[in-house]
């Protein structure tokens, strides 16, 4: 079991509430991935470049999404290769 | 008898109370929080994919006997279902910063001890909180809210940091412990040396040779015997700890953060290397990181060191104390590579590399050379700093480091030895 590297740009839809963006779904491989839970938010800064990493459960898989705050683009960075129901 | 109390207890005005917070199995717990499929399972954290050394593990793996520093093969023998996951350093550093915000919301004086441990001084908080227990509960709730439901921590409150940390180490995961005065002797008797802050492995071996198997037993050794065995400094330190008082290591951690005394970086490669280009690239990359940190803090250094080793314990190292301080990567690399490393006839292939700059002092305390050449190179270094500030580390880099895939990037360590830099400059 491992994280598979994807590193592909994705479209993300979500909700702004109380000054915070919560992703609800993303499009990858022409498929809609509905996000059921955000499990971790991480802010990272490299010089003036700021990233917000969000780990989410989407279609029963754990995905690592990254938002580049300078270019305002979303990337699907990694996917855990085992669906959650097989693990629990 | 359990020397720790979990019952509520009130504060009294002015009585010093230290609260120690320790996040349980930090790196692994955060990875389990992120990935619900890993929760409740033994996981081993590796520095990166493809590594074989377990740098830390989850509480489930620890319960099966998996120790930090063991190999994947050794871990699998103890826990055949072990799952290995690379560490997420950015996640740990960000979580530490968020924890620090929670702590500063709770108490006015906070000391970050390591990446996952902090001390909160509750001395003047007795008017704010109804009881010490209430503070601890509030902290645990806030940590769960902010970092996630899987993140648990031990909280211990005692009259000083030494006892609070010791009680925290001994307590079950996720517990709250309040150390009452009458329980201190029992605590000192029960705590193994590995849970005593200030007594390392070598000191433990020397104590055991004297027949001393716990901190309380130091009280049974005479002053003369203690001094003969451990010398004037350590005999006093041990006597202090045996009374349940703070050793100097913890007293020092309470002082305001000072300027860093040295900046270093080491790395273990994936395989042994005899390739001179590769060795040069790694040493340059480590030097660039060291100098990036030093320049951000406006520090220059007068001593440079280099260290290499193979995986069987063979090592070589050298250092040079310079007449005047240096503050640019090219200057430092020149000393590291041409001045020191090249003087060594490589006698073994290398897997571990380390470079350090020490005898640091602020730029302001040093007169800048007036040489036109130095001024010009400093202007270039300043421009690179500005580009790095804007576009990120290694966005502009030497031709030695052209291969983006093999760039060595900064990491955080559990000890957070560079906390002055990490908490102030990142």
Separation between Cα atoms, residue B127 and residue B105, nearest integer Å:
15
Tens digits of residue pLDDT in B171-227: 999 999 999 888 899 999 999 888 888 888 899 999 998 899 999 999 999 999 999
The torsion angles phi and psi of B189, rounded to 5 degrees, stand at -75, -35
DSSP string spanning chain A?
--EEEEEEEEEEEEEEETTEEEEEEEEETTEEEEEEEEEEEEEEEETTEEEEEEEEEETTEEEEEEEETTTTEEEEEEEESS-HHHH-
Report chain B's mean pLDDT, rounded to a whole number. 89
Cα–Cα dist B276/B40, whole Å: 45
Chain B residues whose CB is inside 8 A of the A40 CB are 30, 33-34, 91, 148
CA B185, CA B166: separation in Å to the nearest integer? 12
Measured between alpha carbons, how far is A46 from A69 in angstroms, rounded to an integer?
A: 11
Residue B425's pLDDT is what? Answer: 59
Is the per-residue pLDDT at B4 higher than 60? Answer: no
Strands A20-28 and B299-309: unpaired
pLDDT of B310-354, one tens digit each? 988 899 999 999 999 999 999 999 999 999 999 998 899 999 999
- Which residue of B30, B31, B35 is the best one to mutate when testing the A interface, meaning the one whose CB has the most A CBs within 10 A? B35
Q: What is the ipTM of this complex?
A: 0.93
Query: Which pLDDT does position B404 carry in this prediction?
Result: 80
Distance spanning both ends of chain B, measured CA to CA: 46
> Scanning every residue of chain B, which has its alpha carbon at the shortest distance from the alpha carbon of A40?
B34
Which residues of chain B have a CB within 8 Å of the CB of A37? 36
- Distance from C-alpha of B53 to C-alpha of B47, rounded to nearest angstrom: 8
As a whole number of angstroms, the distance between CA B114 and CA B294 comes to: 21
What is the percent of chain B with per-residue pLDDT over 90, rounded to a whole number?
66
Answer yes or no: do B37 and A3 touch at CB < 8 A.
no
Contact at CB, B37 and A62, closer than 8 angstroms: yes
Interface contact B33, partner A, CB < 8 A = yes
Mean predicted confidence (pLDDT) in B97-106: 94
User: Distance between CA B309 and CA A42 in Å, rounded?
Assistant: 35
pLDDT in tens, A25-47: 999 989 999 999 999 999 998 88
pLDDT for res B270: 86
To probe the interface with B, which of A35, A38, A41, A61 has the most B CB atoms within 10 Å? Answer: A41
Burial class (CB in 10 A: 0-12, 13-18, 19+), B30: buried
Whole-model pTM: value is: 0.84
Select from B107, B161, B112, B117 the least CA-distant residue to B424: B112
Q: Which residues of A touch B (CB under 8 A)?
A: 1-3, 37, 39-40, 42-49, 51, 53, 55, 57, 62, 80, 82, 84, 86-88
Cross-chain residue pair A2–B85, CB shorter than 8 Å: yes
Q: What is the pLDDT of residue B257?
A: 66
Mean pLDDT of A7-20: 94
| Inter-chain touch B94–A42, beta carbons under 8 Å | yes
Contact between chains at A47 and B95 (C-beta distance less than 8 A): no
């Amino acid at each position: 079991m491992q994280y598979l590297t994807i590193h592909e740009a994705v479209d993300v839809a979500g909700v702004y509430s109380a000054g915070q963006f919560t992703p609800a779904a993303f499009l990858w491989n022409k498929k809609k991935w509905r996000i059921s839970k955000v499990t971790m938010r991480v802010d990272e800064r490299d010089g003036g470049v700021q990233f917000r990493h969000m780990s989410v459960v989407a279609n029963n898989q754990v995905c690592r999404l990254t938002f580049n705050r300078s270019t305002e683009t979303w990337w699907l960075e990694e996917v855990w290769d085992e669906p959650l129901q097989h693990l629990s | 008898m359990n020397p720790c109390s979990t019952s509520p207890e009130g504060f009294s005005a002015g009585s010093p109370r230290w609260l120690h917070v320790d996040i349980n199995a930090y790196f692994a717990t955060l990875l389990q929080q992120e990935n619900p499929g890993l929760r409740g399972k033994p996981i081993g954290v590796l520095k990166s994919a493809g590594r074989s050394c377990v740098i830390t593990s989850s509480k489930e793996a620890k319960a099966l006997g998996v120790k930090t520093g063991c190999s994947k093969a050794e871990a699998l023998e103890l826990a055949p279902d072990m799952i290995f996951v690379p560490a997420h350093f950015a996640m740990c550093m960000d979580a530490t910063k968020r924890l620090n915000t929670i702590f500063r919301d709770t108490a006015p004086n906070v000391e970050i001890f390591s990446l996952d441990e902090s001390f909160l001084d509750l001395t003047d908080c007795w008017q704010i909180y109804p009881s010490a227990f209430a503070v601890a509960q509030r902290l645990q709730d806030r940590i769960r809210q902010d970092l996630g439901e899987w993140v648990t921590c031990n909280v211990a409150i005692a009259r000083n940091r030494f006892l609070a940390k010791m009680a925290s180490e001994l307590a079950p995961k996720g517990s709250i412990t309040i150390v009452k005065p009458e329980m201190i002797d029992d605590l000192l008797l029960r705590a193994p040396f590995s849970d005593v802050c200030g007594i390392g492995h070598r000191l433990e071996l020397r104590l055991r040779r004297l027949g001393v198997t716990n901190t309380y037993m130091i009280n049974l050794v005479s002053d003369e015997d203690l001094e003969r065995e451990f010398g004037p400094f350590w005999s006093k330190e041990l006597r202090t700890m045996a009374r349940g008082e703070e050793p100097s290591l913890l007293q020092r951690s309470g002082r305001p953060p000072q300027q860093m005394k040295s900046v270093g970086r080491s790395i273990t490669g994936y395989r042994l290397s005899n390739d001179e280009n590769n060795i040069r690239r790694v040493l340059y990359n480590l030097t660039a990181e060291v100098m990036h940190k030093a320049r951000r803090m406006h520090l220059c250094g007068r001593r440079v060191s280099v260290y290499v080793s193979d995986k069987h314990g063979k090592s070589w190292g050298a250092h040079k104390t310079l007449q005047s301080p240096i503050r640019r990567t090219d200057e430092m690399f020149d000393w590291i590579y041409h001045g020191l490393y090249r003087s060594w006839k490589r006698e073994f292939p290398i897997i571990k590399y380390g470079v350090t700059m020490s005898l640091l002092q602020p730029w302001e305390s040093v007169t800048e050379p007036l040489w036109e050449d130095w001024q010009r190179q400093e202007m270039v270094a300043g421009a690179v700093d500005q580009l790095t500030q804007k576009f990120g580390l290694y966005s502009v880099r030497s031709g030695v480091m052209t291969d983006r895939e093999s760039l060595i990037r900064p990491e955080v360590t559990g000890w957070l030895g560079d906390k002055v830099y990490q908490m102030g400059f990142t």
